[in-house]
Amino acid sequence: MKYVRMTVRGEVQGVNLRYKVKEKAKELGITGYVKNVSDGSVYIEAAGEDSALDRLADWLRSDPGSAKVDEVRVRAATGDDYVDFSVR
């Protein structure tokens, strides 16, 4: 199990990105959460297999839905044992 923190920048708020992230995370077997940040970015804490986390980051970079992603920053983290994936 690997833990990461992701920051997604661009036109990422107000376009239902958090809910799309939740759906994709569940599809990939990832647990954690996603939330909007006051600076206009979206923050994700995620736990899962390396390949699943890489796929989530790649998916985010593909401008999912109406989002226009300028940057996806992924950092290693220590994590909690999340039960599911939630929107905060």
Tell me whether residue 18 is one of the annotated catalytic residues. yes
Catalytic residue among 5, 9, 36, 55: 36
Catalytic residue among 18, 61, 73, 88: 18
Tell me whether residue 36 is one of the annotated catalytic residues. yes
Amino acid at 84: D
Active site residues: 18, 36
